[in-house]
A and B are shown apart, each in its own frame.
Chain A
Amino acid sequence: MKVCLVPVGIMKKYMKERDLDIEADLTAGTLIERLNLPDKLKIICFLNGKRINPDGRFTEGDVVKIVSTFAGG
């Protein structure tokens, strides 16, 4: 199935918005691992404005925001 990945904030530096074919049982944690993003970035997926736990799953057509926890002061 297809989901759309939308990088937010600094994640735009590391990936572009794109559609991705995934298995129906793919978890958010595995999806993040597959993106091959820098180890130092702690990444969270958001769906419809809510965090998805690493064991959370997706449905066809989901728009998934990819967000880093990075924060400045």
Chain B
Amino acid sequence: MNGNTGKIINVDLGKGSIETELLPEEYYTKYIGGSGLAAKLFWERGNISADPLSPEAMLIFMNGPFAGLKLSGASRNSVAGRSPLTGNWGDSSCGGYFAPELRYAGYDGIIIKGKAEKPSMLLIEDEKINILPAPEYWGKGTEEVNKAIKNKYGKNYRVLVIGPAGENLVKYSIILNEGHHAFGRAGFGAVMGSKNLKAIVVKAAGKNMNLADPEKYEELRAELNPKIKEALASDVMRENGTAANLEGGVVSGDVPIRNFTSNYWEEMGQELNGGILTEKYLTKRRVCAYCSIACKRVVEVKEGPFAIPEGPGPEYETITALGSLIGSMDLAAVCKASRVCNDIGIDTISAGGTIAWAMEAFEKGDITENETGGIKLLWGDMATVIDKILPDIAARKGKLGILLSEGSLAAALKTGKDSVNYTVQCKGLEVPMHDPRGGGHGLALAYAVSPRGACHVASPMLFMEMGACFYPEIGFEYELEPMTDENKAETAVIAVALGAIENSACFCQFADREIAIPEWVGLFNSVAGYNWDASDMMKAGTRVFYLKRLINYLFGRTAKDDALTPRMLEPARDGEPEGVFINFEGMKNKFYELMDMDTVKGIPSIKKLEEYGMGVEAKRVWRET
């Protein structure tokens, strides 16, 4: 096999067994790699009725075919399985340095089942793979464990680690690579924790790759790396990070404020943007493996109540989720809250979304000090967030920590009253930090139909609406007006396929915005030898999207779950989008029609599935009718 190794590692922590396996080539050409291939393996082998935190649950790490190439943005990895936060299909992507090392060691992925008797870690050194006891790391923060493992084995050993939150099964726990790069969403840190698996460590002796057409690939690489490096977006993000234009987002109404109750806060935009982060706290810029964009931030807050030593800094999503969303415009506090979340190991988006919901519930009187254990929940009270709420969530300690450790939907269902209506989530996953009411109406559709729940990276709809990319070869050559529903369903059909390609190829969506469709096809063919044309590639992307929909259907999710909460669909109360309605149902109905999806079941018709070579899969989901 080319590009890919074709080989995965099967680990059963309960039995203590480790086996390697060669996968059929057809799995790759049909499902690409990354989260697409993970979905295929889950579909084939996953126990659908298994609780995601039970030993039977599958935890899948999967590379894309480009891992290890010296190409900007190409070396991400996907983790996937059933999300403990949502109960649905979940996947999450991470940059950093794990993917290339796993590839060099000779593997495309790892499937982990079972539960170790005691705290353990998995150590992969080429063919030598061992489950090792790791009691000394249990209970400790990600930063300390990451350093300890590197001190013990070597700085070039690549480390995935969970924090105390994952050990304590907090439903939105993360897995962190090199102490800085997160598999952030959907709670797979808790799945690792449920298996008593504290860390996964990999080191390869060499860097061998075998490509289908090395010369053609080198030609492409020589074109693409400079193109990505010199792109305007790369320049902007290198200088001021992913929050570079937060201030512009505030003016357009894209940046959520106080649990999405407001779309305008001018002073906040002036205080929390990436330029201010650079000016006040930035000490270094960092990159993921082989990337020239360098959007990662390293920060230090030298003094004040939120002082932190030099270390990983926040990105746009974190700045907003732990800033404006919970009513704060204190950037130093955001930096500290971000660092705390990294160390205890929780997703900043879901943490911010859940705390923001709780603050609104407290303001409305739907939860009181009786339910919070005496903690007052006030907008912008960052000292309480940092010193009390986040640590209590990670430890699942106290009334409030326990309530919020399950995410906003579970907390609202437990609280009752009207509180579900002002959760801001889809399928149980908290909405990321782009408000469709100000950012673009198509994003509302993209959030709703995304298999894992509200997700801004499941498809490039956000970028397509903002005019950051065009793909004339596949029919996307028109400008979109963000604030209408015009052409959004049609665009979403293209976007879900492209998103599935990106996430299955495990490519960074900042880097791959510069890649044209013929270049994408050229990469797949020269690296992995898929022998695709553009139509084959798009078909694979759509197939991956459909398969994830089928998995969700087996979990009981149907068309009615492709929904947004009332807060998302009520007109904005202020700012640029004030009073504007999103024609959500209109876009959704059209999208369903174009994708030939059943309006009750939420899955494609038998005919459509057969058209995509999924006749066997169709029988499994349609057999009862």
**A residues whose Cβ falls under 8 Å from a Cβ of B:** 8-13, 38, 40-42, 44, 46, 49-51, 65, 67-73
B517 within 8 A of A: no
Question: Are B252 and A69 within 8 A (Cβ)?
Answer: yes
Q: For the complex, give the distance between the alpha carbons of A73 and B461 in Å.
A: 12
Distance A9 CA – B144 CA, assembled complex (angstroms): 36
Which A residues are CB-close (under 8 A) to B275?
A: 12
**Can you name the residue of chain A whose Cβ is closest to the Cβ of B439?**
A71
Residues of A contacting B462 with CB < 8 Å? 71, 73
Question: Besides A69-B467, A73-B510, 8 other CB < 8 A contacts?
Answer: A8-B248, A13-B236, A40-B233, A42-B466, A51-B576, A72-B245, A72-B274, A72-B295
Would you call B466 and A9 a contact (CB within 8 A)?
no
**Quick one: which of A9, A40, A71 contacts B434, CB cutoff 8 A?**
A71
Given contacts A46-B251, A49-B576, contact A71 B245 (CB under 8 A): yes
A49 adjacent to B264 (CB under 8 Å): yes
A67 engages B456 (CB within 8 Å)? no
Task: State how many angstroms separate the Cβ of B299 from the closest Cβ of chain A.
Answer: 16
What 3 pairs between A and B have smallest CB-CB spacing? Answer: A72-B242, A9-B248, A42-B467
Residues of chain B at the chain A interface (Cβ within 8 Å): 231-233, 236-237, 239-249, 251-252, 254, 264, 269, 273-275, 295, 315-317, 432, 434, 439, 456-457, 462, 465-468, 482-483, 509-510, 575-576
How far apart are B436's CB and chain A's nearest CB, in angstroms? 12
Which of B249, B432, B457 touches A9 (beta carbons < 8 Å)? B249
Q: Which of A12, A50, A73 has the most CB of B within 10 A?
A: A73
Contacts of A13 in B (CB 8 A): 236, 239
Chain A contacts of B264 at CB under 8 A? Answer: 49
Residues of B within 8 A of A44 (CB): 252
Give every chain A residue within 8 A of B251 (Cβ-Cβ).
Answer: 8-9, 46, 49, 65, 67
Given contacts A8-B248, A40-B231, A42-B466, contact A70 B236 (CB under 8 A): yes
Q: Which residues of A contact B247 (CB under 8 A)?
A: 8-9
Contacts of B434 in A (CB 8 A): 71, 73
Of chain A, the residue at the smallest CB distance from B440 is A69
Query: Could you list 7 examples of A-B contacts with CB < 8 Å?
Result: A9-B247, A11-B248, A13-B239, A49-B264, A69-B248, A69-B465, A72-B316
Once bound together, how far apart are the Cα atoms of A51 and B575, in whole Å? 10
Contact A38 B242 (CB under 8 A): no
Please, how many angstroms separate the alpha-carbon atoms of A29 and B239 in the complex? 28
Smallest beta-carbon distance B107→chain A, Å: 28
Q: Is there an interface contact between B466 and A72, defined as CB atoms closer than 8 Å?
A: no
Q: B576–A42 contact, CB under 8 A?
A: no
Docked complex Cα distance between A13 and B278 (Å): 14
Q: Which residue of A lies closest to B462 (CB)?
A: A71
Which residues of the other chain, A, contact B468 by a CB distance below 8 angstroms?
40, 42, 69-70
A73 and B432 within 8 A (CB): yes
Q: Does B245 contact A70, Cβ atoms closer than 8 Å?
A: yes
A12 vs B466: C-alpha distance when bound (angstroms): 19
Question: What distance in Å separates the Cβ of B288 from its nearest Cβ neighbour in chain A?
Answer: 14
Please, how many angstroms separate the alpha-carbon atoms of A29 and B600 in the complex? 44
Q: Which residues of A contact B273 (CB under 8 A)?
A: 9
Q: Given the complex of chains A and B, what is the CA–CA distance between A44 and B432 in angstroms?
A: 23
B38 to chain A, nearest CB (A): 21
Which residue in B248, B482, B575, B576 is a CB contact (below 8 Å) of A68?
B248
Per the bound structure, the CA–CA distance linking A71 and B240 in Å amounts to: 12
Q: Are B245 and A73 in contact (CB under 8 A)?
A: no
Residue of B236, B244, B252, B466 touching A51 (CB-CB under 8 A): B252
Query: Nearest CB to that of B481 among chain A residues?
Result: A53
A68 to B273 alpha-carbon distance, docked (Å): 14
Residues of B within 8 A of A41 (CB): 232
Contacts of A38 in B (CB 8 A): 232
Residues of A within 8 A of B439 (CB): 71
Distance in Å: Cβ of A13 to nearest Cβ of chain B: 7
Min distance, Cβ A53 to any Cβ of chain B, angstroms: 9
Quick one: closest A residue to B255, CB to CB?
A71
A73 touches B457 (CB 8 A): yes
Chain A nearest Cβ from B331, distance in angstroms: 15
B186–chain A nearest beta-carbon distance, Å: 16
B576, A71: Cβ atoms closer than 8 Å: no
- Chain B residues whose C-beta falls within 8 Å of the C-beta of A9 in the assembled complex: 244-249, 251, 269, 273
Contacts of B466 in A (CB 8 A): 42, 69-71
Most-contacted residue by chain B among A41, A69, A72, A73 (CB, 10 A): A72
